[in-house]
Chain A
Amino acid sequence: MRLRTTLLALGLGLAASPALAAGTLYVSNEKDDSLSVVDIETLEVVDTIPVGMRPRGITLSKDQKTLYICASDSDTVQVMDIASRKILHNLPSGEDPEQFALHPDDRHLYIANEDDAIVTVVDTESRQVVEQIDVGVEPEGMAVSHDGKWAVNTSETTNMVHWIDTATQKLVANTLVDQRPRHAVFTRDDSLLWVSSEIGGTVSIIDVDSKEIVHKISFELPNIHPDRIQPVGMELTSDGRTAFISLGPANHVAVVDAQTYEVKDYLLVGRRVWHMTLTPDEKLLFTANGVSGDVSVIDVEDMSVRKTIKVGRYPWGLAIVE
């Protein structure tokens, strides 16, 4: 009830805010088998695109002409043409693809197959599976380093970060982290890897060279039991100063100083917040709120929630076309 009133108040405040950059936000709706398309200038939903079953992770090609969609229950990765908003074809993905990461070569997708304890590497040009790599139980988070050397996967039940050398496509090291690791992000200089542990309630900062944990961030909110504070999605700003960490059923996004690892603020968003994305100018942050079925729009400059946009059921992943 309180949340609703607050959001209404914010909606009123919108008229006074400055003009927003152009662009289009795509949101995958896990329980609607669709993507919501949001105009970033007006912050309105302008289209809904039917896609495969249980869409979760979505990511763009470098030229932003193609969107890759993990259609988990269709056991495929769909390739959508951004211009026509039509599905062009499906890629072999292995069973139950949940999250993926595109290698900087713009060609190889690293896909986490949640039900199979496998990471599948797919060549998007030849549409062939290049490699399948055994990892831990329930692989989830996927990230590729900016220099393209490392692909990492987090396995939710094995509680490990699996390090894959992209030159050989072999698993070469593992780092044990806290319970149920969900998401991994490399810093821009590829020196550190951030990994969120949903049930452990922590974010581990791992040194890429030694593969060892160098810091652990934990969170604290008044009136919310620590067990309910469950870090999932993470976004790092390009200047390396700020990290946004979504806290799942705690319904907040933590704002963290990425240098000192100090938590500076908690922003109230929708219910069960999953993944997030920054606009290219990093002025806005969008969060997918699974249970409330909406997207919160956070103004990065003054760290406030500007608007809530109703999308489909169980929004999960986001991607922005400039």
Chain B
Amino acid sequence: MRRTGFLAALCLSTALTALPALAAEKAMQAVDIGWLSKERDLPPVLSNLDEIPADKGVAGARLGISDNDTTGRFMGHDYTLTELVVPLEGDVADGFRQLRDSGHRLIVTDLTAEELQTVAALPEAADTLIFNAGAPDDALRQTACLANVLHTLPSRAMLADALAQFLVKKQWREWFLVIGPATGDKAFADAIRRAAARFGAEIVAEKEWQWDHDIRRTAHEEIPLVTQDVDYQMLIVADERGDFGEYIPYNTWEPTLVAGTQGLVPTAWHKVVEQWGAVQLQNRFEELAGRPMRPEDYAAWAAVRSVGEAVTRENTIEFEPVNAFIRSDAFELAGFKGRKLTYRPWSGQLRQPIPLAAPRALVALAPMEGFLHQTTELDTLGYDAPEVDCDR
């Protein structure tokens, strides 16, 4: 029971000067963060229970500004968000230039992978820091090598690895993969295949979702046929838009559990997360946005809070030291997931635990116990340093 002899490292900190009560007496320094997103023409989905909110992502950035500001009051920093939403027919590069022309060098984005690559490659983007809070594509982290981009949204590989660790730990290793027609669905399926190979699960069957009619009235007739004659333990669905996946549970031939983009979902954030002080974040967000916080909101919040942390710790509003601090070993962010969040130097990805959420309960928080890593178990999720060849 008793453990002796483990001495804690005792370090003398760099003495911090006590800060004045309120910074009102001195001039407040402005920290203006840019927001760049684009209007979308989204195709309709069968289930309309959860509408995609108009303020997806940006609501999280707004909360981040408000959290930063509370600290800023004491430090003399005044945070604002300049929101630029490129119209449907507009050009994201123009939007980016516009933000850059108005002096923004810290820019949080909710863009597609292609759009993000376009803006990150602009000459105007050379001396900026862009946060990706909207694109889960692994290529952005693994091969695109965007030195001026940090990713706060987890990649698909991180989500798939989180789910795989859980299923493997449960010994539910035989998976039947049902894949939707969208590009994202295929990318999610790729991540699931990679995770299966990585953690020792087997994909015993794959089927592509082919129906384009309204399955809501006929799911009980058609899904049993699709899932018949396959010997599997777990049905993994890849339907990022939420078009048909919700209709698979309880309609399968066998009494099967469903996971993936529906059923048990690995996600950056979910309303069921309440441990680790998360209730407070959920409450603040609900009060501000009038709806539960979504993964993109969390990613945007984490991006804005990263800037706030750097400005506070370095006590400067200058771009270079803020950018350098966020990327340094000294950076850490308390992100309501039970451990400190930091950025991977090789890919710019924010390391973070991944909640595995059932619709109304948190089932697990990956990384799962027992999946070891030489530096941090958080790096068992997604592409690790040896798998990425970028000169950042």
A159 and B312 contact, Cβ closer than 8 Å, known pairs A222-B6, A261-B10: yes
How far, in whole Å, are A157 and B64 apart by their CA atoms in the complex?
11
Does A283 count as interface, using CB distance less than 8 angstroms?
no
A218 touches B71 (CB 8 A): no
Interface 9-mer from A37-45, A85-93, A172-180: A172-180
Q: How far is the CB of A210 from chain B (nearest CB, A)?
A: 6
Residues of A in contact, count (CB < 8 Å): 62
Does A82 count as interface, using CB distance less than 8 angstroms?
no
Q: How far is the CB of B279 from chain A (nearest CB, A)?
A: 9
Task: List residues of B (61-77) whose CB comes within 8 Å of A's CBs.
Answer: 67, 70-71, 73-74
Does A221 count as interface, using CB distance less than 8 angstroms?
yes
How far, in whole Å, are A210 and B99 apart by their CA atoms in the complex?
42
Give the nearest-CB partner of A7 in chain B. B1
How far, in whole Å, are A265 and B46 apart by their CA atoms in the complex?
59
Give the nearest-CB partner of B69 in chain A. A137
Does B49 count as interface, using CB distance less than 8 angstroms?
no
B1 touches A171 (CB 8 A): no
A117 and B6 contact, Cβ closer than 8 Å, known pairs A179-B332, A212-B18, A216-B11: no
Task: List residues of A (248-292) whose CB comes within 8 Å of B's CBs.
Answer: 249, 252, 254, 256, 261-268
A213 and B15 contact, Cβ closer than 8 Å, known pairs A158-B71, A262-B10: yes
A173 and B3 contact, Cβ closer than 8 Å, known pairs A136-B74, A215-B13, A220-B8: no
B9 touches A220 (CB 8 A): yes
Residues in B whose Cβ lies below 8 Å from that of A170 = 21
A114 and B339 contact, Cβ closer than 8 Å, known pairs A175-B19, A200-B332: no
Residues in B whose Cβ lies below 8 Å from that of A179 = 332-334, 340
B13 touches A268 (CB 8 A): no
How far, in whole Å, are A220 and B10 apart by their CA atoms in the complex?
11
Report which of A115, A213, A266, A304 forms a contact with B13, defined as CB distance below 8 A. Answer: A213
Residues in B whose Cβ lies below 8 Å from that of A200 = 332, 340
Does A6 count as interface, using CB distance less than 8 angstroms?
yes
A210 and B18 contact, Cβ closer than 8 Å, known pairs A158-B74, A262-B8, A266-B6: yes
Does B283 count as interface, using CB distance less than 8 angstroms?
yes
Residues in B whose Cβ lies below 8 Å from that of A321 = none
Does B190 count as interface, using CB distance less than 8 angstroms?
no
Type the 1/0 row for B263-302, where 1 means its CB is closer than 8 Å to any CB of A: 0000000000000010010011000000000000000000
Residues in B whose Cβ lies below 8 Å from that of A204 = 13
Does B182 count as interface, using CB distance less than 8 angstroms?
no
Residues in A whose Cβ lies below 8 Å from that of B284 = 115
How far, in whole Å, are A115 and B282 apart by their CA atoms in the complex?
10
Give the nearest-CB partner of A178 in chain B. B332
Does B321 count as interface, using CB distance less than 8 angstroms?
no
Does B376 count as interface, using CB distance less than 8 angstroms?
yes
Q: How far is the CB of B342 from chain A (nearest CB, A)?
A: 10
Does A211 count as interface, using CB distance less than 8 angstroms?
yes
A265 and B3 contact, Cβ closer than 8 Å, known pairs A175-B18, A179-B340: yes
A217 touches B8 (CB 8 A): yes
B70 touches A117 (CB 8 A): yes
A180 and B338 contact, Cβ closer than 8 Å, known pairs A138-B280, A175-B18, A217-B10: no
A263 and B8 contact, Cβ closer than 8 Å, known pairs A179-B340, A200-B332: yes
A176 touches B313 (CB 8 A): yes
Does A156 count as interface, using CB distance less than 8 angstroms?
yes
Residues in A whose Cβ lies below 8 Å from that of B12 = 214-216
How many Cβ-Cβ contacts under 8 Å join chain A to chain B? 139
Report which of B13, B21, B340 forms a contact with A171, defined as CB distance below 8 A. Answer: B21
Q: How far is the CB of A19 from chain B (nearest CB, A)?
A: 22
| Interface size class, chain B | 35 or more
How far, in whole Å, are A256 and B19 apart by their CA atoms in the complex?
28
Does B183 count as interface, using CB distance less than 8 angstroms?
no
Does A53 count as interface, using CB distance less than 8 angstroms?
no
Does B20 count as interface, using CB distance less than 8 angstroms?
yes
Type the 1/0 row for B304-330, where 1 means its CB is closer than 8 Å to any CB of A: 000000001100000000000000000
A215 touches B10 (CB 8 A): yes
B13 touches A254 (CB 8 A): no
Give the nearest-CB partner of A254 in chain B. B8
How far, in whole Å, are A200 and B331 apart by their CA atoms in the complex?
11
How far, in whole Å, are A277 and B376 apart by their CA atoms in the complex?
34
Q: How far is the CB of A87 from chain B (nearest CB, A)?
A: 25
Does A47 count as interface, using CB distance less than 8 angstroms?
no
Type the 1/0 row for B2-35, where 1 means its CB is closer than 8 Å to any CB of A: 1110111111110111111110000000000000
A173 touches B377 (CB 8 A): no
Most-contacted residue by chain A among B9, B18, B71, B338 (CB, 10 A): B18
Does A300 count as interface, using CB distance less than 8 angstroms?
no
Report which of A115, A160, A221 forms a contact with B6, defined as CB distance below 8 A. Answer: A221
Task: List residues of B (197-225) whose CB comes within 8 Å of A's CBs.
Answer: none
B74 touches A174 (CB 8 A): yes
Type the 1/0 row for A294-322, where 1 means its CB is closer than 8 Å to any CB of B: 00000000011100000000000000000
A263 touches B6 (CB 8 A): yes
How far, in whole Å, are A30 and B7 apart by their CA atoms in the complex?
34
Give the nearest-CB partner of B4 in chain A. A265
A180 touches B277 (CB 8 A): yes
Task: List residues of A (186-236) whose CB comes within 8 Å of B's CBs.
Answer: 198-201, 204, 210-222, 225, 227-228
A173 and B70 contact, Cβ closer than 8 Å, known pairs A199-B340, A217-B10: no
A137 and B2 contact, Cβ closer than 8 Å, known pairs A180-B277, A219-B8: no
Most-contacted residue by chain A among B4, B20, B339 (CB, 10 A): B339
B280 touches A114 (CB 8 A): yes
Does A10 count as interface, using CB distance less than 8 angstroms?
yes
A218 touches B8 (CB 8 A): yes
A residues touching B (Cβ–Cβ < 8 Å)?
Answer: 6, 10, 114-115, 117, 134, 136-138, 155-160, 162-163, 170-176, 179-180, 198-201, 204, 210-222, 225, 227-228, 249, 252, 254, 256, 261-268, 303-305
Q: Which 9 residue pairs are nearest across A and B when measured between Cβ atoms?
A: A211-B18, A263-B8, A227-B339, A199-B334, A158-B71, A179-B334, A174-B19, A216-B13, A180-B334
B residues touching A (Cβ–Cβ < 8 Å)?
Answer: 1-4, 6-13, 15-22, 67, 70-71, 73-74, 277, 280, 283-284, 312-313, 332-334, 338-340, 376-377
Provide 21 A-B residue pairs closer than 8 Å at the C-beta atoms, listed in order of the A residue.
A136-B74, A156-B334, A159-B71, A174-B18, A175-B18, A176-B312, A180-B334, A199-B332, A201-B340, A212-B17, A212-B18, A213-B16, A214-B12, A214-B15, A216-B13, A219-B8, A220-B6, A221-B6, A261-B10, A303-B2, A304-B2
